[in-house]
Chains A and B, each alone.
Chain A
């Protein structure tokens, strides 16, 4: 007889209950593929094959499904829906600009969470009243976490797309409202497990969707990557729980793998940014962020120069460090920067790239962009490796980066990025900033280093500026 732990599954006349043994073995094989895929993705040489292996595993699992369940209903509609998914998902992934990649990942993650929540809802509609308490608990878990992931990811997508403000959205008493909605969701969750009813499920869905929005709203720009990673882990866990609801081992294994590895990854990212996870989620960037440093701005004197001046500074230096940032990526200037570095190398100048862990919008984002421009892997130096070298460097050229070199992270406890490790560019002899304007970075705070006497600004689009600098260096 069923215990409280009895897994779900569409037993009577359904399609899940009677899975042939060979299909179960195929699922085991696919689960191994996923483990090896994650393992492969953790190393630079094996990453691509790892991803391929994961994709192959997923394909095998889906194809097997149709052969293992010959009595499946609605087959043409199912295939049609899959075709729509492919037509939407594949071109989006292929055509997206590499700079817009983080928000696409957020979006993919969100729809995955939504799918997991829907799966549990449907299974509840089908057999909810007769399921064991264990399955009902897994159902409410999937519904809550899947919905939070869905709305949270969509909001993250909108923030990264800059369709809405990247600053924290703070509503009065927001924290209390969030706690209240969270507590209410918990109450309805328990209620649903005790006395299953469809209306409670609907209320739970609405509350969870609201909770996802409330949780992500106060998250400031720089913390967004961490949130994507966290929501990714959430979706993994909700997929695992939906696997329990359906009695499907593959979903449990795959979902849990993602949940566990995603949690670890999130912790690593938070560490790289020097921000405890709880701060990211609840402290967020406080309201004074917006007003901090607005007394400064455009009217304070800065030293600006032309491309020729910058070319001379660079051309007669012995050691140059380049700090690439999101601005470089937006301007698609990675090829120009490489050309410049090659020219400097030919003049016998030592050049390295200093890569902040969260340069760009996500950890590793900048590495991907520079790899696209054939920048050799060895020239990319990570923060811990490069920081001691700034003091012996003649010129640091910061291209479209701001927050990752902002000394406020060290000196000003009230700054929202306080505690984030930064690149110590101020230790160098001279600093050149290539920026479009004096506008603050993604975190929305002023950078004192822009006003430092040793800093020179070269205003303009990174690509145009670099092209001019390259021409000027060639002419020397």
Chain B
């Protein structure tokens, strides 16, 4: 297969996977899911490192380093903030658990 066509195939199939994996998400998780997806596209860091690692002249080097800083912020900050949103869902010891049970 032409390598370009192979990439196109991967692209199209990924679209279907992307639709499929989030098709049953509840409203409650919209925000964390958006934030998590936001972190995942921070993987553009890989591309930024590759082009910077190949830069010979000043302009591409400077632009590349800026891209690395931006992409790292996206990647690291994205996963960290998503984790913070989600750590609130983890079950904690509720001191007044009895009264909550009674309310149901």
Q: Which residues of A contact B (CB under 8 A)?
A: 3-7, 10, 14-16, 34-35, 37-39, 41-44, 47-48, 50-52, 54-55, 58, 61-62, 65, 69, 72-75, 77-78, 80-82, 84-86, 88-90, 92-94, 96, 98, 101-102, 104-105, 108-109, 111-112, 114-116, 118-119, 121-123, 125-126, 132, 134, 228-229, 232, 235-236, 239-240, 242-244, 246-262, 264-265, 268-269, 272, 342, 345-346, 350-351, 357, 362-365, 367-369, 371-372, 374, 376-380, 382
Q: A60 to nearest B CB, angstroms? A: 11
Asked if B30 and A268 sit within 8 Å, CB to CB, the answer is yes
24 sample A-B contacts, Cβ–Cβ < 8 Å, listed by A number: A6-B2, A41-B22, A48-B86, A61-B46, A62-B49, A73-B55, A84-B69, A85-B70, A85-B71, A85-B73, A86-B72, A89-B76, A92-B73, A101-B31, A101-B35, A108-B39, A112-B42, A114-B67, A116-B44, A119-B47, A125-B60, A250-B46, A251-B46, A255-B41
A55 x B79 contact (CB < 8 A): yes
A58 to B94, CA, bound (A): 35
Q: In the complex, what residues of A have CB within 8 A of residue B36's CB?
A: 37-38, 41, 47, 50-51, 54
Interchain CB contact under 8 A, A42 and B21? yes
Q: Are A379 and B69 in contact, CB atoms less than 8 angstroms apart?
A: no
Q: Is the CB of A364 within 8 A of B99?
A: no
**A-facing mask of B84-104, CB < 8 A → 1, else 0?**
111111101010100110111
Contact B18 A257 (CB under 8 A): yes
- With a cutoff of 8 Å between Cβ atoms, the chain A residues found around residue B48 in the complex are 115, 118-119
Given contacts A232-B38, A261-B18, whether A69 and B61 have CB atoms under 8 Å apart is no
**Chain A interface helix/strand/loop/mixed:** helix
Apart from the given pairs A81-B52, A235-B38, A260-B16, 8 other A-B contacts in the complex at a CB distance below 8 Å: A15-B53, A42-B24, A43-B25, A62-B46, A74-B55, A101-B85, A104-B81, A258-B38
Inter-subunit contact B40/A37 (CB<8 Å): yes
Measured in the bound complex, the distance between the Cα atoms of B104 and A260 in whole Å is 39
The 8 residue pairs across chains A and B that have the minimum distance between CB atoms? A85-B72, A260-B18, A5-B4, A89-B77, A363-B30, A93-B80, A112-B74, A256-B14
Give the CA-CA distance A376 to B103 in the complex, in Å: 11
Q: How far is the CA of A48 from the CA of B8 in the complex (A)?
A: 32
Taking a contact as CB atoms under 8 Å apart, the answer to whether A7 and B33 are in contact is: no
Q: What is the predominant secondary structure among interface residues of chain B facing chain A?
A: helix
Q: What is the bound-complex CA distance between A377 and B82, given in angstroms? A: 19
- Residue B47 contacts which of A4, A44, A50, A248 (CB distance < 8 angstroms)? A248
Note all chain B residues with C-beta closer than 8 A to A377. 89
- Which partner residue on chain A sits nearest B14 by CB separation? A256
Report chain A residues within 8 Å CB of B24. Answer: 42
Q: Nearest chain A CB to B21's CB is how many angstroms away?
A: 5
Flag if A261 contacts B61 (CB, 8 Å): no
Q: Are B33 and A65 in contact (CB under 8 A)?
A: no
If A88-B69, A242-B44, A345-B103 touch, does A105 touch B38 (CB 8 Å cutoff)?
yes
How far in angstroms is the closest Cβ of chain B from A311?
Answer: 18
- Residues on B lying within 8 angstroms of A by beta carbon are 2-5, 7-8, 10-11, 14-19, 21-56, 59-61, 63-90, 92, 94, 96, 99-100, 102-104
With beta carbons under 8 angstroms apart, the residue of A42, A72, A382 that contacts B33 is A42
B60–chain A nearest beta-carbon distance, Å: 5
CB distance from B4 to the nearest CB of A (A): 3
Asked whether, in the complex, the Cβ of B5 is within 8 Å of the Cβ of A5, the reply is yes
Report whether B89 and A47 are in contact in the complex, using a CB–CB cutoff of 8 Å. Answer: yes
Q: With A75-B53, A78-B65, A350-B103 as given contacts, are A362 and B74 in contact (CB-CB < 8 Å)?
A: no
Most chain A CB inside 10 Å of its own CB: which residue of B16, B50, B65, B81: B50
Candidates B7, B37, B94; contact of A244 at CB < 8 Å: B7
| A48-B87 contact in complex given A78-B53, A122-B60, C-beta closer than 8 Å | yes
CB distance from B23 to the nearest CB of A (A): 7
- B31 partner, pick from A34, A342, A363, beta carbons under 8 A: A363
Complex CA–CA separation, A301 to B85 (angstroms)? 41
A382 touches B103 (CB 8 A): no
- B50 contact from A89, A246, A249, A346, Cβ within 8 A: A246
Asked whether A115 lies within 8 Å of B45 as measured between CB atoms, the reply is yes
Q: Are B28 and A44 in contact (CB under 8 A)?
A: yes
Partner of A74, one of B18, B53, B71: B53
Minimum CB distance partner of B94 in chain A: A374
Which residues does chain B contribute within 8 Å of A38, judged by CB atoms?
A: 18, 21-22, 33, 36-37, 40
State whether B46 touches A368 (Cβ < 8 A).
no
Closest chain A residue, CB of each to CB of B4? A5
Tell me which of B23, B27, B100 contacts A363 (CB under 8 A).
B27
The answer on a CB contact under 8 Å between A246 and B47 is yes
- Looking across the interface, which residue of chain B has its beta carbon closest to that of A85? B72
Q: How far is the CB of B15 from chain A (nearest CB, A)?
A: 5
B31 close to A90 (CB less than 8 A): no
| Contact indicator B65/A77 (Cβ below 8 Å) | yes
Provide the residues of chain A in CB contact with B10, threshold 8 Å.
249, 252-253
Are A265's CB and B71's CB within 8 A?
A: no
